[in-house]
Amino acid sequence: MSGDPLDIVIGANEAKRDAEQAASHARDADKAEAEGNREQVIVELKKAVAADPTDLDLAFRLAYALDLVGEEEEAISMYEQVCETQPAPINALINLAVLYEDRGDYIRAERSLRQVLDTSPNHPRARLFMKDVQASRDMFVEEEQTRDVLKRNALLDTPVTDFELSVRTRTCLKKMNIRTLGDLLRITEAELMNSKNFGESSLVEIKAMLATKGLKLGQGLEDAHRAARKALMDKLKGTGQEGALAKGVTDLQLSVRARKALQMLNIETLGDLASRTEAELMGVKNFGATSLEEVTEKLTEYGLSLRKLDE
């Protein structure tokens, strides 16, 4: 016997491969199939594959037989082995994609079908299944997003009275018409502190409570601003004044201090400005009572006003 390591490896592989024995078991599988005995078909095909692991046709037959009786995990494993060869058999890739889709593994399903379409772009079954997989994936994503939205909405609809807050804090929130966690996300620190009898201790208390939920004051302000702009548009619709909402604040000839404050808040139009509250503006550095009066007067000229907290 040669001492060459390559000879040893080749000899070992040949010893494991018994094509004649594999063919014998394959014939027995054919007989069992003719008799409608699917379990025996699988038994014989497993023996055939064990006798000759290199025979891809036998491996594919075994994967397909396992698939037919609902043994999906084993079927997937066999199809994956078959598809390790290059180029991977098209039927194996398609069947594997279908099994992946059935168990919700849309990424692997799409990847398998992509292998088919990369070489056969017009393959009818692959194109059809690709549409199904992508539609299922999109539906799954939408369902996940819907569940996330419902969870978030349920959290934001939680009444603030469900939390252990001091009497003073609860009273202040009630006066400001703040009923839920969602309401708190649509308000700023400045707006809270601007409320009568609302002090630093209440602010700390609320911020700590929100932090336990991974939330913070003001993070939902954009939603509030958007809702306010829409409400204004609906209110002014048909009056001929709705065009004023799109007018740029640069046309108002405001003082330098007032203009800078609006720039810091990314306020570009009258609609943006009317969706803000006094406290939001007053929370900007160097924006004082004089600037507030100036802005309020300009809005009044167009029949508009700053948003109230209870709006």
DSSP single-letter state for residue 297: H
Instruction: Kindly give the residue spans of alpha helices, DSSP state H, lying in the chain.
Output: 5-16, 19-34, 38-51, 56-68, 72-82, 90-102, 106-119, 124-156, 167-175, 181-185, 189-193, 200-211, 221-236, 256-264, 270-274, 278-282, 289-301
Tell whether domain 5-145 is in CATH 1.10.4030.10: no
Candidates 81, 44, 42; CA nearest to 65 is 42
pLDDT at 266 over 50: yes
pLDDT attached to residue 7: 41
Instruction: Tell me the DSSP string of 207-224.
Output: HHHHHTTT--TTTTHHHH
Using CA atoms, how far apart are residues 64 and 45, in angstroms rounded to an integer?
A: 11
Stretch among 89-103, 129-143, 236-250, 295-309 having the lowest mean pLDDT: 129-143
Residue for token pair 């055939």: 48
Using CA atoms, how far apart are residues 88 and 93, in angstroms rounded to an integer?
A: 7
How much of the chain exceeds pLDDT 90, in percent?
A: 13
Residue 269 pairs in a beta bridge with 248
Give the CATH architecture of domain 160-211.
Orthogonal Bundle (1.10)
**Per-residue pLDDT band at 147 (split at 50, 70, 90):** low
Same fold: 160-211 with 222-301: yes
Stretch among 5-14, 159-168, 176-185, 232-241 having the lowest mean pLDDT: 5-14
Instruction: Tell me the DSSP string of 29-95.
Output: HHHHHHTT-HHHHHHHHHHHHHH-TT-HHHHHHHHHHHHHTT-HHHHHHHHHHHTTSSSPPHHHHHH
pLDDT at 288 over 80: yes
Residue for token pair 């907290």: 309
**Per-residue pLDDT band at 249 (split at 50, 70, 90):** confident
pLDDT at 140 over 50: yes
**Per-residue pLDDT band at 5 (split at 50, 70, 90):** very low
Using CA atoms, how far apart are residues 175 and 236, in angstroms rounded to an integer?
A: 28
Query: pLDDT tens digit string along 82-102?
Result: 898 888 899 899 899 888 888
The residue ranges of every structural domain in the chain are: 5-145, 160-211, 222-301
pLDDT attached to residue 144: 61
Query: pLDDT tens digit string along 6-35?
Result: 343 344 444 467 888 989 999 999 999 899
Bigger pLDDT: 285 or 14? Answer: 285
Bigger pLDDT: 9 or 116? Answer: 116
Tell whether domain 222-301 is in CATH 1.10.150.20: yes
pLDDT attached to residue 143: 60
Counting every residue written for the chain, the total comes to 311
Candidates 176, 182, 279; CA nearest to 227 is 182
